[in-house]
Structure 1
């Protein structure tokens, strides 16, 4: 070695905190190279691939004596940079890491890798990992044995998998690989596979997905996990205890320990098969060398079971034994053991009715006969009460005997079932009470019964009321789902055509009218509540009374003239309104009478005298206080049906919901005080799930609520998911960034007060521009590709969006950056993306929005945050990208809500 070579700095690589770090020391004096010198050395010795992408940082390193442990300038380099290293003429650590990279490339070329999918909260990351079969493990062990200490690797598999992942991504990009699953299916499974395999070749590995694809992604993650195990030839097994029922009532109960294949649960063998290493065990093990693994699994399971469950201590000594239990011991076992076994990941296999049997009070409600020639259902039901075990009828006398003797295991109808003695006594008591008090129920009673069942189910109560219903009762208690509700169309006299969700509202109103009940249509503003209601009124005999604020009286008049011109509309307002003894007679000839809440209270004598077909309370939040004169007047109106229309059924507290629902269905929800005590207080104070479930069962049939975000409505909008797309600075960006920081620190020391603050603010803006792109910071019009980590990540996001067929908004706070993005999209994808900013005229702005909303032209719309962050509706966009971040999140939220 020449003297010059001996004195030149020596570049090293160390593994720290799951990342590769370049650093260097001077051979002459052992000092650490500063960052600028390190960058020059890395660029000269390692070439552009691994030096240009390195990120400046500092980490604690154990340096040669006398330096010891100290923070050291390093360049954090991507793992695929190791591919450019050679084992010749390099320092020891570089030669060693080059050998690791060479082994990783060999594994990738041989196909000894598998994909994995890891979830961290809502974020999914796809990675490649090595199939660490015997030869590969031996090679890694040998590498670890000869590793220079400065490399700092303790966990060879972790390092190797990071390198394998980087090598695999680089190879896929080098060959231009793109995922191409079969295109016959476009469901969640297809989208999950597309997004995941796209992520396996992207730089970050982050999966872009829709909310409703999460289940498919979790399933795919399990599939990858099992595939890796299978590639390693490792059997995926778990222990289970099988409970054998006695043939005769006096025979003992028996328990045996088994193993089953997690992927194919029907494949199982006993612990005895494993110890004997017979054909069944070898079949589960798949390969002879894995039979000892099964033996270890059985012995460990037996020891854990015997250690935690007293009656099963024999399994700890001999996992192949059969444990026999008496009836009393089985009762104790079934009471305490299932939870323990669940904690031990041991499955208990036995008849479902034995492991989880419970008694219920079962009610069968059937509608009373219809009222002849009325066109209405009879709003009542006949109820038959019985006892059941796991939904199967049981003779009441057998339950009486079980309660008297106190047995929890009984042999009935040719099978064993397990019961709780207290539960049986409670069931019998409630059965007798219901038969006595509830042989016939009205709608209110049915709803309370349904609420009791829902509350018991929510709280996992042992003794719930099971309710079986038929006819209109079943539809009502199911919340009137679309598939059960007969769809009504607008009458021929209605001018216009309702949308599908409006027809659903029309059908809902009609159903409730046929059983003499009211409801609350709580759709968002703009979804057509007035048109739907007018279509309903046109199908029913009048007259109908509409009560609304004064500001919308004329709207009702004009909408009726538009949609139902055949109906005569009278406005009950002003000095010429109907008054005196003949007021009712004057109102009756009209089909629709429109008045205000104020006049309803003032003229209640006249309005209350008329028998109305329908009472409509528009903007029904006006009666949310049941003590006001208007709310009290509503309860004095005689109407066949009462309907409430409001976009905000609950503004402040649940008492408002009671007031509105009590106005349309008086007495159905009890008094205000009882509603408050039973539902409002426990829900609002603690979010009580039992009270919530009961209230939902009570109110669900009578509230129809759709929002503009509802996927069933015309604009099919997905749920908003926010993800941070991380990007790494290029070396050029990192150098510029550090220079600005250093200059700021130097300048700030010489200034004070507002001038110093101005320096900081100017530097922050400059740093944001550097992070966007060096060309944004310099403004020199230079090339864009390959110089910004953020732009590269942006390109990946855009590719994914275009592949999914999505339309997107791209926000930036800088007009200059928007112009650069516009230029870049044109150069790279030949997309002429419009850019909406403050310099665009109103005419040009309107044309841009119109074309984007119509689905014409570019699928991307670039928007200046200041110019387009508020006041626009760009509902054609299903995705939003914020290229740079604003300091106030509320501004970003407003901009995102444009989509």
Structure 2
């Protein structure tokens, strides 16, 4: 696993370097970091020497790479180490920090980058709320136009919290001394806020101060006198912005009668900054009594404040000088061209500077614009197309273009009239339209084209995109209609050799896959966990024509047995060969085994290892189950699997996008190579606009492009599956015993004293060790002490567990017990077996596949063992355990997705009863406090807590004291 670190340079920008403890250290100089590698990130490569924690003449590995066999007690010291770096400028750094790599794929952010990512998100939030002001930086020779954050009230408190959360190693430098944390944080926040403001504004190439506040060029031209006056005015503006509680508010009003050439108007008002619904029009402000009453709690002189606010805004929007020429400015008339300029340029600039702006609803992402309407049809009958040599994304279709406005196709007369109009905004059928003469001319030229285009061009709308026109509708016929609308696909009959009954949505899925395969197209079956994707795929295989050849199924090791069992149950006619283990068939024996098989099952690891042998086979189909395993497209495993030759490729996954859009690109590149273009182009066209800017138009284009190839159904959708029972989740609060409380308090006292005097890696290690000890003592004193002592009567959790299991057993039901600690799971197995006189199963990582399969099979039988203890890592995925309708999380992983996956071992198809999910939490402890954070701040938890417990190491000692402190009132004496 790689861990990527970041250092915010004093000169600006982000220096990235990566660490891999698996690298051999021999042969390297004592000044070169032995585990450092250059990160695979676009940027400027180089080298740097940083002060890093070291011990014994070697750099200490980061906590993310901490090895169990590492020396336990090492006193770290700072020492200089040379590392390869990739430098990003400020704008590149913002994008990188907002789109972090996927930790599950072998790379992870270190503490410094996790902290800087939070700073970047905070900077974006400040910009979104208008808490930035424009300033002048640099010197008189090279002045710079910059945005700077304005921190007041809660913003200042949050910034202080982020400052205190900075990992000590984030202060490293190349000067031989640690930089002050305040300096590093201020430089990073200022720079990232500036980049975030620019990302939110349309670029302006003008060589002026307002123009340099947009785009990536920050230099501008001005005389010394102009600079001096600008700096003076901006200083006053910044002071006003920091202290002000009201702001100027601008509302653009459409003409009452466009046919009579009525003007547009910008109405001027004051708005309360912390109560946006309180807007006082200019007319009320000039009536001092009413204006003063409405704004009494904000300011004493509303008229003076109003004029001052308009004066500040006039520096960004010079047209306001016309309004200020009046004794009592109330509004500003605009002609159509001026209104268009205000909509496109001035309004975003004013909003970015913190002023209030209200535009007509039709403007922006919903503005009516001329678009292209495509009529497409397959030129030949489906049967002929299916036998054609040109299939897949290269298949040709007939097409015809028209121009449209919303739901209306524009007539030739309307198009001719628009071609003569010179105004940038025009009324068409009662709607205002932004008219671009070049785009209109391109659209007219597009309409003149007819002929054939490829399926890929149809999906991407490439001809229209080249003309700068959005595709607003596609009307299709023939097999193209079925491709664009899966509901139009003819439904197949259930294969006669399938044992059992497929559900209607499974039949639709089988028919959909068969349709795509008929035309040489790949598929992504992304149904929710528990909806029976395995059965659907087995039905697809049973539909294969005789002699079509074998299907290769690649899946995680934990699912090999599941595929064997499901095939034997639903598709016994399929000949299944498992390619796995040291004794697996190789060479000619492998070729013979494949020749005699309909389905070959192997694992991801072996698919990469045996890629050469597997590539010798011309597979009818390659299926990847849990396809998120190939979401890191550059890994050896993903490259090997994409290269396997097959007529058809299908990705099966419950989570097509886990953390970032690159996941979707990697999976789709396997199923339909080339559909989403090269990775770099996908990043530019989709990932960056959607993830960084929330671009809904880009998201819609991506949805439209991928929708024909992705089938996603949720088990919570009653229209999909109405007979799946309910999942009832509850938190079970347990009390500590006196013994547990004594141990808990002793751990907290010792830990806080040690943590307060520690820094860097040592501090992180102490915090994580403390967290582990506290969770163990919450489970049971014997787990912490490891003394083999008795379990009965010493743990509140165990007492509550016994009570619940008594009820479960009395009702003749079964339960799954999850713990993240295998050692504690073993202790529970032994104790509960004796306590209830019933066999208790225990699955952990050391159980071989055969033993695992035997346990699952026995538990699923009616007379099988009623209690199944599972290690969360070993049993949290890949199992069907619907015999249980009780799930108990004895201790928490603090990752909702991981816990939900474990719960879904019981809550899936085949489950006939309501599933009761209990999550144990000890009252008054760190468990209860983190649980509250998960409940109250789920969005924050998904972003930070969801990655594990490393975020706790970044808390201040005071925060840790609040988190760890025991509430004695929750202890049972």
Asked which structure has the greater CA Rg, the reply is 1
TM-score (norm 1): 0.44
* Greater relative CO, 1 or 2 (CA 8 Å, sep 6+): 2
